[in-house]
Amino acid sequence: MKFAKTFTLKEIASIINCKYVGSDDFPVNGMNEINVVESGDIVFVDHPKYYTKALKSAATIILINKDVECPEGKALLLTDDPFRDFKKLVLYFKPFQSANNLIAESAKIGKNTIIQPNVFLGNNVVIGEYCLIHPNVVIYDNCIVGNNVTIHAGTVIGADAFYYKKRSDCYDKLNSCGSVIIEDNVDIGALCTIDRGVTGNTTIKKGTKIDNQVQVGHDTVIGERCLIAAQTGISGCVILEEQVTLWGQVGTNSGIRIGAGATVFGQSGVTKSLSGGKSYFGSPIAESREKMKEIVRMKQITHKDKN
């Protein structure tokens, strides 16, 4: 999330009432989750396992719960609970804005776009030209839909990321302040759910086609001309390169990359990143030819045991 203007380190520290390391006027342009940070962003880290990753990331302001040496050219915000204070900043800069109409006054709809009955378009939603939005579609605040996009009935675009911190007495939710961007010539089936980014964007690129009942997690990027079949579940922070095919009921781990032109057969569990241009299946996943050989060998062993 980028701020509407540049803030100073001192101003940010005053919002969350914390100490800081760096000059008072150190510039702060936004805040982001560690997978999408850029220079000028705040990133939070609250676990020793990720201290080094956060300190070496592109972020130039690190919200951290440990007194560490500040890297050159960066600044620190010191707090006992980075998750709590990052959440406080999200709510400060992106408070919830209620809706008063099915189609918000601030929503923008392009020419020759058809909006069917009972569609909800939240605040600042942008819909391009020549789109068809079927009944009971819900598009949350700040989401952007390109031109010539079809979205079928009951689909929800822009719900919050599934992102929680385990406390001793509860699961503490990190409010999502990212968005969803759907590019041109995308088709989305019925009853799909595409979650917004935690602080960045979930993106569906040009020409991709998504079947019914597909879940796309936060901050995932689906490349151009991908095919996603029914009941597939894609976790957060996944990258699908162009022309990837996922057949029905595929499930993925978070944070993986599937290379261009890869095909994953139905009911496979994608637990690791996959190279492009190959076909895969199984759980755990393997290249299809190797998996077939494995199945044949297992059958041969079973046959011998029976004899």
Neighbours of 187 (CB within 10 A): 15
Query: Per-residue pLDDT averaged across 22-51, rounded?
Result: 94
Residue 307: the pLDDT is 58
Task: Tell whether omega for the bond before 284 is within 30 degrees of 0, i.e. cis.
Answer: yes
Quickly list H helices, the chain: 9-16, 51-55, 82-93, 288-306
| Among 93, 126, 156, residue at a domain's last position | 93
- DSSP-derived 3-state class of residue 35: helix
Contacts of 156 (CB under 8 A, 6+ apart): 137, 138, 140, 192, 193, 194
Summarised one tens digit per residue, pLDDT across range 110-137 is 999 999 999 999 999 999 999 999 999 9
Contact assessment for residue 186 and residue 210, using Cβ atoms and an 8 Å cutoff? yes
CATH of the domain at 86: 3.40.1390.10
Query: Per-residue pLDDT averaged across 279-298, rounded?
Result: 83
Of 247, 291, 275, whose CA–CA distance to 283 is shortest? 291
| Per annotation, catalytic residue among 134, 152, 218, 303 | 218
Residues 15 and 88 in one domain: yes
Summarised one tens digit per residue, pLDDT across range 259-268 is 999 999 999 9
CATH of the domain at 167: 2.160.10.10
Residues 121 and 73 in one domain: no
Per-residue pLDDT band for 209 (boundaries 50, 70, 90) equals: very high
Instruction: Dump the DSSP string for 37-53.
Output: --TTEEEEE-SGGGHHH
Of 1, 11, 15, whose CA–CA distance to 59 is shortest? 1
Residues 263 and 235 in one domain: yes
Catalytic (active site) residue 152: no
Residues 116 and 82 in one domain: no
Residues 149 and 204 in one domain: yes
Dist CA 275 CA 121 (whole Å): 38
Is 103 a domain residue?
no
| Among 64, 93, 122, residue at a domain's last position | 93
Dist CA 220 CA 232 (whole Å): 14
Per-residue pLDDT band for 294 (boundaries 50, 70, 90) equals: confident
Residues 88 and 114 in one domain: no
Distance of CA 134 to the CA centre of its chain: 24
Q: What is the dihedral of CA 301, 302, 306, 307, to 10 degrees?
A: -30
Is 304 a domain residue?
no
Residues 156 and 124 in one domain: yes
217 or 297, which is more confident? 217
| Among 67, 93, 119, residue at a domain's last position | 93
Residue 18: the pLDDT is 96
Structural domain that includes position 36: 2-93
Of 68, 77, 60, 70, whose CA–CA distance to 17 is shortest? 77
Is 303 a domain residue?
no
Residue 303: the pLDDT is 61
Residues 113 and 221 in one domain: yes
For residue 185 the two structure tokens come to 């010539």
Query: Per-residue pLDDT averaged across 188-203, rounded?
Result: 97
Is 149 a domain residue?
yes
Residues 67 and 200 in one domain: no
Residues 168 and 52 in one domain: no
Is 296 a domain residue?
no
Q: How many CA atoms lie within 13 A of 244 on its CB side?
A: 24
Is 205 a domain residue?
yes
Residues 37 and 123 in one domain: no
Residues 121 and 260 in one domain: yes
Is 102 a domain residue?
no
Per-residue pLDDT band for 152 (boundaries 50, 70, 90) equals: very high
Is 180 a domain residue?
yes
Dist CA 128 CA 109 (whole Å): 6
Domain count of the chain? Answer: 2
